[in-house]
Structure formats: structure tokens, C-alpha cells
Amino acid sequence: MATPNSDAQENDLYGSADNITRLRVSSPPSSGLTTPEYNNEIKMEKTTGSVAANDVGFHHVVHKRLKSHFTCSMDRVKKVVFSTLPILSWLPKYKVRENIMGDIIAGITVGIMHIPQGMSYALLATLPPIYGLYSAFFPVIIYAFLGTSKHISIGVMAVLSIMVGATIERLLPDGTGQIPADLYNSTISNTTLEELQYQAEQAEVQERLYIAGAVTLMSGIFQVAMGLLRLGFITIYLSDPLVSAFTTAAAFHVVNSQIKHLFGLEIPRYSGPLSIVYTVIAIFSRITETNIATLVTSIIAIIVLVVLKELNLRYKEKLKGIPIPSELIVLIIGTVVSHFASLEERYDVKVVGVIPTGLPKPTVPRVSLLGQVAPDCVAMSLVSFSYSLAIAKLFSKKYAYGIDANQELLAYGTSNLFGSFFSCFICSTAISRTLVGEAAGTKTQLMSLVQCVVMLLVLLFMGSLFRSTQVTVLAVIVVVNVKNMFKQFAELKPLWRISKIDFVIWWVTFVAVFLLGLDIGLGTGMAFCLLTVLFRSQRPATTLLGQVPNCDIYRDLHNYKAAQEIPSVKIFRFDMSLFFSNCDHFKTSLYSQTGVDPVVLLAQRKKAEDERKKLEKKRAKEAKKVSEDGKEIVELDGFIPMEVEEPPVPEVKTVILDCGPFQLPGLCRSQHTYSGTQRLQKCWCQISSSPLQS
């Protein structure tokens, strides 16, 4: 096997790697069991620098793959239909007696939860509450037919709602919602100022709906495209520390956006970098304008809601999976008190107002906005998919069934595409609703269809009942529901012990999202995460192994104090396969940790030899000069005393490479490990030729 030209000097000193015909690299077993992984043999035959071609022709492989992808048969058609519509797989086999009651009870329970959450999260999206209820109805129907998870509850989500709201605020035209000056200062017959203000507010709502519809449509397009391109694997680049940091920082943005409603303040909403800072400054500048009635309502609602949630946790087993509907109770009590106490008229408390009944007419989103919202939708699509898929996988592992990531992408994307025509904003799942549904007895996605029946009844007949609902009560529901996200700070201490790099990823993402905003911050976190992937691949962990006393188990000397190093033996472990970008790190780490650096040792030996030769010449010259002068004759007898200090010889007799992490079956064939094979040969040549003790 040919060696790189850049190492020609080393080849001259130690011999070319082509001279090696066989190299045995053994690795110590990590347990008492003997497995092939720890008895691997790398055969390196003499070659001229080329890798042997595969026995199977390239054209044959291409033909076989094309045939497998484009051959049409009834079995293939059936497979495609059933994979595209998973409901056809489980609905005909539905076990009515075993599952029906659990799905019905869970559907009703989750539907009741969706009422206050839908109305509250619509506030985060800067939309009227009714549009949160729409978003808890239309997308859910589609997912029930297309989704592969049996347990997750699709609908509104706090983080996505705040991202939609930020996009709306960024793109909302200046002056929207205000009466034009020329109309305000003129006399208009048969038209009152209140009517003009109402028309201006309705125009603002319509503009917000256009933007929200474009966001939902574009997000759906991205997700469907990723599903068709089989990009379900893309979530592996959204690591757990990154998602945890993102949701924690997003919780601050959520609370920050609702503080004005808790205090009854009228302040503008900020978006983009440093939006949290600007909002806090605006709040403190107007803190004296706090509506006392609103503040008192907020405090009482927070206390009641927190107490009810704690009761749910403490008496979870006694409630038998059907929790107290805490949000709905607070919503109903707040609405009743607001209505009979006339809080809007007497204390200027802000209420929801008119909520239309019935279903919205389908409308086409404004296509001209798609280009403007596209960058924001990339982040929303990834957040929606990664968060939902993580929860879906959690429950699929718990109940032992499969999840198709690509089909989930199609399901989420189609749900958003469909919802964009019915005044919905982008949907995802929520862990709180999913956990409640599981506790109530969810067995299949029939639960979602039952939930849709509950939401349909609310939309058709109960909308007018929530006219007096206080906005501050909805804000309280939002704030209390995100409190669990702040508990993710507790993950930092164990994260620091497990991985320093993941710890840094967490903080970089958190600070970026907190200061720069959700979209820019997420992009910054992902970019930094990818940089750490490159760093880890170039500089993987390296360790020296020692033997655990009285057994054949070898462990890291640094982490396992009981492990003992074998005298005169160094066992070196490199925690990744060798390829071009980490070859130099492998060589440097191997030499530094084992204490055997052939280049240094041979350089020291060569230096000692040069000094010895120089001293010999000097002594010989002095001896000759003395004899010619005749003053003194020195008989050398062929011996000249040497004053050159011999270079130190390492005490290591054997260097063992633990090749457990290496991808040995493809080591000589893979283009990615070709450079690694060459480096392994070269290191072996150098160590073999170094002056070790025998």
C-alpha cells in the first residue's frame, strides 16, 4: 500500500509502509467474553497504491437498485398505500372492547385541555383566541389519518406560537390598526369613531392572519418536501443539549411576552435581537400604569392554577388517569367573575371580546408573503418536527411500536398545509397534553378524532360563552404551563460531568436564543453544534487502558482507579475510526500517551552518534598533533574515552492498540479510512524501528 509523498522523509528513515505485508492489531477485551471485535486482524498486502476493485460491477449494482425502486407490483402498491395512510393499518384491526373506552375518555380529556391552551397560545401568536381553537381542530384530523404515533396530541405549542408572533410583528406593516389621520380629522356622515376604530382593528387582524397563514403554508411545504426527500434523519443534528437550551431560552421569551397582560399594561411588542431587554425596559418605564384589578386577578389565578396542578401530581394515582382540568377551571371561574362583576366596564380590564361561532371559510394564504417568511419557516419546521418526533419516539419505545420519521414529516407537513387554508397557525405536539392523554388511557389516534368532536362542539355552540374571558387569565395559563421548561437548568450539573462540549453547546445556544431571538439564536446554536461535531471527529477521545485486578477486563486508567497499568506495556485506545482528518491526532496522541515517540528517540540517537563522531575526530586530531611535536607520545590502543551522554531509552517494551472503535471490515476498502490505513502502517514502522528496551 503506497504512502503519501508528504511523508517521504519519514519513509527514508524508517522504511516504506509498502514493506509491511501483515500487521496484527489486537485489542484487549472489555469483558470476560471473547468476541471477534477484540481479535481483529488487518491484512495489508503489497500494492501499488490502488485499492482492489469490487467483484460486482458498478453497472450491475446501479441496474439492481434502479429495478428495485421502479418495479411496480400489487404488493408494492399496497405497501405504499398503507405506509402513506397508517390509519388503514390499525383501524381494521382495532380492538373495540380493549381500546374504545380509553380512547374516548382520553379524547374528551385532551379536548378539554385544548380549549384554554388554544385560546392562550393564540395570544402568543398575536392572534385572537378563536384561531387557537381552529389550530386545535383542523390539523388534528389530518394527523389522525397520516401519523404513525399512537399517543401524541397534535395542536398548538407555546414555543412555535411565540415564533409565529415574532414573525408577524416583524412583517406587520407600520400603522396597521390605526385610523388614518385624514379620516380621523374629517367629518364622516353616519360613521362613528368607534366604528372606524373597529374597522382598523379588523384590518390589523386580517393582516396578521395573512402572515400566519403564509407561515403555516410555507412550513408545511418545507416539511412535506423533507418527507418526500427522506430527510427524517436531519433531527440528529439537533442534539438534546441544543433542544433543551433552545426551549429554556424560549420560555423566557414566552413569559416576557405575557408580562404586559399580567400587569394590564399597553406596551409595544418587540422582536429580533435584544427584544427581551427592550420589553423589560418598556415595562419598568410604565410600571406605574399597572391596572390593579388585572394584577390582583393574575396573582389569584396563578395561585389557583399552581395549586390545582400540584394536586394533580400528588394524587395522580387516586385520580386514575383523569386529572383535574385545572386550566379549564381557572378559565371558567375567571370568565364567570368577569361577566357578573362587569370588570371590563368598571375597572377597564381587557377581555377577549366577540368570539365567532361556526367553522371558518377556507381561504387561500397570501402567496406573495411566502418569500418573506421562508427563513423563519425553516427554523419553525425543524423545531416542530424535532420536538414532536422526540416525544413520539419516547412513547413508541415505552409501548414497543415503530415510528417512521419520514412519514411523520409528511403528516406534520400535510396537517400544516391543510390548516393554512382554515386560519390555523403552525402545529406541533405538547408533552403535557400527551402525558395527560396517556394517563387517561390513549391507545390509538382514535383519541384525536374524539378530541376533534369536542372541539367541534365548542366551535359550533360555545364560542359566545367566552366573550368575557379576561386576557390576563389566558396569560396566566401560558406562564404557568411553561414553568417546567425552567427546570431544565437542573440538567446542567450532570451535563458538565458527562460532557464538557455538550455543556458549552447548551450555554452558547441559550445565550444566543435569549439575546438574539428564537430564529437567529437557533441558527447560531446549530452552527456551533456542527462545529463541535467537526472538532470531535478531528480530536476524538484517547485513553490508556489498564487491567482490572484478577480478571481480563481493561478500563480507562483515568476514570477507573482500580485499573492497573501492566509493567512495560502501553494499551492505547482511540475512540473513533481512522480517517484523513484525525490521522495526525492519532499519531500525536499515540506517541505522547505511550511515551514512545520514534521521531524524537531516533533524533536523539542520531544526535548522540553525531556528537560521538565529532568527538572521535577531535581526539584523533589532538593525538596526531602531540606525536608530531615529539613532546609527548600518547598511545591510544584503539580506544578513546567517550564523554557523550547516551539518550534515554523508554521502559516500554510493548505497545498495544485497542481497535474496538475501528470499522475494521471496511478499513482497506473505504475511501474515508484509506488515509487511516496508511497512517497506521507508518506508525507501526516507526515504533518498530525505535530503540525500545528488549
| Mean pLDDT, 10 residues at a time, the chain of 694 residues | 41 37 40 39 40 56 74 79 90 91 92 91 92 95 95 92 92 62 51 71 89 96 95 85 92 92 89 89 93 94 93 82 85 93 90 88 93 94 91 90 93 96 93 87 93 94 88 92 90 90 94 92 91 82 84 81 82 77 77 74 73 76 59 48 58 77 53 56 65 49
Same structural domain for residues 247 and 268?
Answer: yes
Please give the grid coordinates belonging to residue 672: 474515508
Residue 162's H or E segment, with its range, is: helix 158-171
> What does the DSSP assignment read for 293-320?
HHHHHHHHHHHHHHHHHHHHHHTTTTTT
Q: Are 578 and 679 in contact (CB under 8 A)?
A: yes
Position 16 scores a pLDDT of 38
Examine the domain organization and report whether 122 and 268 are in the same domain: yes
**Rounded to 5 degrees, what are φ and ψ at 656?**
-115, 135
Q: Which letter, b or e, does each residue of 587-619 get, where b requires 16 or more Cβ atoms within 10 Å of its Cβ? A: bebbbeebebbbeebbebeeeeeeeeeeeeeeb
The reply to whether 445 and 517 lie within a common domain is yes
Crossing angle of helices 193-228 and 158-171, rounded to 10° = 120
Please give the Cα distance from 354 to 18 (Å, whole number): 84
Strands 569-574 and 554-556: unpaired
Whole-angstrom distance, CA of residue 294 vs CA of residue 280: 19
Q: Do 445 and 318 share a domain, yes or no?
A: yes
- Whether residue 213 sits in one domain with residue 314: yes
390 and 264 in a single domain? The answer is yes
Q: Within a domain: residue 25?
A: yes
Contact 657, 25 (CB under 8 A): yes
441, 130 Cβ separation under 8 angstroms: no
Backbone dihedral region for residue 211 (phi beyond 0: left; psi -120 to 50: alpha; all else: beta)? alpha
CA Rg value for the chain: 36
Task: Select from 481, 383, 483, 428 the least CA-distant residue to 152.
Answer: 428
Q: How many CB atoms lie within 10 A of CB 107?
A: 25
Contact 267, 282 (CB under 8 A): yes
Q: Provide the β-strand partners of residue 545.
A: 556, 571
Do 570 and 509 share a structural domain? no
**Strands 569-574 and 654-658, sheet pairing:** parallel
Identify the three-state secondary structure at position 546: strand
Q: In one letter, which amino acid is 58? A: F
- With respect to residue 40, please indicate whether it lies within any of the assigned structural domains: yes
Give the separation between CA 219 and CA 373, rounded to whole angstroms: 9
Query: Cα–Cα distance between 589 and 584 in angstroms, integer?
Result: 8
| Interacting residues of 564 by C-beta distance below 8 A, sequence separation 6+ | 546, 547, 548, 549
Contact call for residues 136 and 490 (beta carbons, < 8 A):
no
The alpha carbon of 266 is separated from its chain's Cα centroid by a whole number of angstroms, namely: 36
| One domain, residues 549 and 511 | no
If asked whether residues 529 and 556 sit together in one domain, one would say no
CA 209 to chain centre: 30
Query: Tell me, what's the pLDDT at 562?
Result: 79
Q: What are phi and psi of 560, to 5 degrees?
A: -115, 105
CB 563 within 8 A of CB 667: no
Q: Which amino acid is at 40?
A: N
DSSP, res 470: B
Query: In DSSP terms, which residues pair with 546 in a beta bridge?
Result: 555
For residue 655, the enclosing domain spans 5-50+540-626+645-689
User: How far, in Å, CA of 114 to CA of 129, rounded?
Assistant: 12
Do 26 and 140 lie in a common domain? Answer: no
Instruction: Mark whether 402 and 427 lie in a shared domain.
Output: yes
Q: Is residue 522 part of a domain?
A: yes
The residue count of the chain comes to 694
80 assigned to some structural domain: no
Are 379 and 448 in the same domain? yes
Distance in Å from the first CA to the final CA of the chain = 29
**Contact yes or no for 422/302 (Cβ under 8 A):** no
Q: Domain boundary at 534, 560, 588, which?
A: 534
- Answer positive or negative: Cα dihedral of 199, 204, 208, 214: positive
Q: Give the count of domains, the chain.
A: 2
How many Å apart are CA 510 and CA 516, to the nearest integer?
A: 10
Of 505, 506, 583, 507, nearest in space to 540 by CA: 583
CA angle 559, 665, 586 (to 5 degrees): 45
Q: What is the distance between the alpha carbons of residues 377 and 217, in angstroms, rounded to a whole number?
A: 9
Among 205, 197, 466, 193, residue whose Cα is nearest residue 354: 466
* Residue 580 per-residue DSSP state: T
Residue 634: inside a domain, yes or no? no
| Residues β-bridged to residue 564 | 547
Buried b (16+ CB within 10 A) or exposed e, 636-666: eeeeeeeeeeebeebebeebbbbbbbbebee
Give the end of a domain, one of 495, 513, 534.
534
What values do phi and psi take at 494, rounded to 5? -65, -30
In a domain, 549, yes or no: yes
HSE (CB half, 13 Å, CA atoms) of 406?
Answer: 10
The answer as to whether 195 is a domain residue is yes
User: Nearest 5°: phi and psi at 343?
Assistant: -65, -30
In Å, how far are 20, 260, 394 from 266, measured between CA atoms? 79, 7, 42
Q: Is residue 268 part of a domain?
A: yes
Q: How far apart are CA 149 and CA 445, in angstroms?
A: 8
Q: Which pTM was predicted?
A: 0.74
Instruction: Please say which residue of 484, 513, 534 terminates a domain.
Output: 534
